[in-house]
Structure 1
Amino acid sequence: MREVVVEAARFLARHCEDPITLCDVADHVGYSPFHLSRAFERQVGQPPGQFLAAHRFQHAKRLLLSTDERVIDVCHAVGFTSVGTFTARFTAVVGQSPARFRQLPELLAQAPPRPVIVPGRDRDGGVVTGKARLSAAAEAAIGVAAVYVGLFPRRMARGRPVSGTLLGETGNFLLVDVPPGRYWVLATALPAHARAEDQLVPGRGVAGAAAEPVHITPRTPVHHREVWLDVAPEWDAPVLIAVPPLASSLTLAVPSA
């Protein structure tokens, strides 16, 4: 079944600009929509529709940075009919509105990302420590890496992290002031010396996640996790969150919407 799901994911990634449906994908791989949807979410971690939307938002990010098209035109180009729905969903997953995202290269040129710890909202909250390591393939793919680590309520980087950091040279990370709850430690690596545009929409995805979530409670406020980052398959869902602004002094203090 793994091969079927991968082929379905490849099909969705290839046709993210087309008006395709779950039935189209199911016909392509020869499974019923119901069984494919269940298997897809079990293997990939998100349903086919959400996976398709992720690729569409990634395409929207490219269009916003590489063209002068209006937001409404970008909205229609990636398969949305309502600019309000597109803007709301883009902002929710990327952490910046489409108009704001388009401004980021200029803002980041003025204040490039620097190693930083962005705390959570609970000053008496928990702490997560750990180390992030890159595979040999990941190091070869992006060279000198800027590694971002964050805590998220689900095993996908959507919106702003509960607590986040841009690592220094050691690879050790510290996430602080974490409210009680269950979170995933997720990481992504970007080419540190690339243009802002190439950091905001990288050509190769390099990402990783801790093997187990953390459960922050008053009795267990401190956790440790190790994260391995590797090159993601070409068909995999991209990391949508705009992470460089999280480590820029100019953008940290400015609302995202």
Structure 2
Amino acid sequence: MRNTVVEAARFLASRADEPIVLGDVADHVGYSPFHLARAFERHLGMPPGHFLAAHRFQRAKRLLLASDLRIIDVCHEVGFTSVGTFTTRFTAAVGRSPLEFRRLPTLLADAPPEPVLVPGGAPRGGTVSGSVRLSPAALAALGSFPAVYVGLFPRQSARGIPVSGALLGDTGDFVLTGIPPGTYWVLAAALPALADAEAQLVPGQTVSGAAAEPMHVSAVSLRHHREILLDARPDWAPPVVVALPPLASPATEPLVATAGP
């Protein structure tokens, strides 16, 4: 079944700018929409609609930085028909509005990201510690100085502002604190630290990873431990759409989600 899901993901990623629906993908792989949707989320950690939107937003990010297209034109180029819907969903996923995202290279040029820990909104909440290591393919894609971001999210995809997050230093170890009760995923991504702002905001290849299991935080403050392997992902894989560099820039206010899922 995983091969079928991968084929469906490839089909969606290659047609992200088209008015495609779940039935089109189901017909392509020969499954019912219901069964395909369930298998898709089970294997890739997100519904087909979120997967499609992630690829659309990633393309929108490229267009916003590499062209002078108006927001409404970017909206139509990536398969949305309503600029209001596009702007709302882009902001929720990326953590910045399209206009704010377009301005980020200037902001980051003056204040590049620095190692930082931004705790969650519960001072007596849970804590998660762990370590991140990069595969040989990830190191080859990033060069000698990767910038590793770790965040806590209520879903198995990095969308919006993390509940708690950090840009790591040299060790690859992390401790996230102040976590409210709830169920979360520890997700991580790496960017080429020596690249310019545009290449960090929209990297040429996704390097990401996630803890093997979600973390359940209770009202009692406890420490959880997670280990994460970052690897270079294929072109069809879901991109990391959240704008990571401004989360660690000293020119921006520390941002974390203020509530649990």
TM, length-normalised to structure 2? 0.94
Deviation, 1:177, is 1.3
1: CA distance, partners of 2:67 / 2:134: 33
Residue in structure 1 matched with residue 10 of structure 2 by the alignment: 10
Asked whether 1:57 is paired with 2:57, we answer yes
Query: What pairs with 1:1-257 in structure 2 (closer than 5 Å)?
Result: 1-143=1-143, 144-252=145-253
Deviation, 1:123, is 1.5
The structure-2 alpha-carbon separation of the partners of 1:254 and 1:50, relative to structure 1 and needing over 3 Å to count, comes to closer
2: CA distance, partners of 1:132 / 1:20: 37
The structure-2 alpha-carbon separation of the partners of 1:119 and 1:254, relative to structure 1 and needing over 3 Å to count, comes to closer
Q: Percent identity?
A: 67
1: CA distance, partners of 2:232 / 2:218: 33
Deviation, 1:220, is 4.7
Deviation, 1:222, is 1.3
2: CA distance, partners of 1:82 / 1:218: 41
Deviation, 1:182, is 1.5
Residue in structure 1 matched with residue 259 of structure 2 by the alignment: none
Deviation per residue, 1:166-201 (Å, 9 max, x gap): 000001111111112211110000001011101111
Which 10-residue stretch deviates more, 13-22 or 108-117? 13-22
1:12 counterpart SS class: helix
2:31 counterpart SS class: coil
Deviation per residue, 1:227-255 (Å, 9 max, x gap): 11111122111000001001001022699
2:35 counterpart SS class: helix
- Alignment RMSD: 1.5
1:37 counterpart SS class: helix
Deviation per residue, 1:69-104 (Å, 9 max, x gap): 111111111111111111110000100000000000
1:31 counterpart SS class: coil
1: CA distance, partners of 2:220 / 2:17: 48
The structure-2 alpha-carbon separation of the partners of 1:32 and 1:217, relative to structure 1 and needing over 3 Å to count, comes to closer
1: CA distance, partners of 2:103 / 2:255: 12
Asked if structure 2 preserves the Cα contact closer than 8 Å seen for 1:216 and 1:222, the reply is no
Asked if structure 2 preserves the Cα contact closer than 8 Å seen for 1:153 and 1:183, the reply is yes
Which 10-residue stretch deviates more, 112-121 or 41-50? 41-50
2:251 counterpart SS class: helix
Which 10-residue stretch deviates more, 81-90 or 40-49? 40-49
Deviation per residue, 1:14-34 (Å, 9 max, x gap): 111112222221222222222
Asked if structure 2 preserves the Cα contact closer than 8 Å seen for 1:157 and 1:186, the reply is yes
2:252 counterpart SS class: helix
Unaligned runs of 5+ in 1: none
Which one-letter code corresponds to 2:38 in the other structure? R
Asked if structure 2 preserves the Cα contact closer than 8 Å seen for 1:189 and 1:206, the reply is yes
TM, length-normalised to structure 1? 0.95
1:252 counterpart SS class: coil
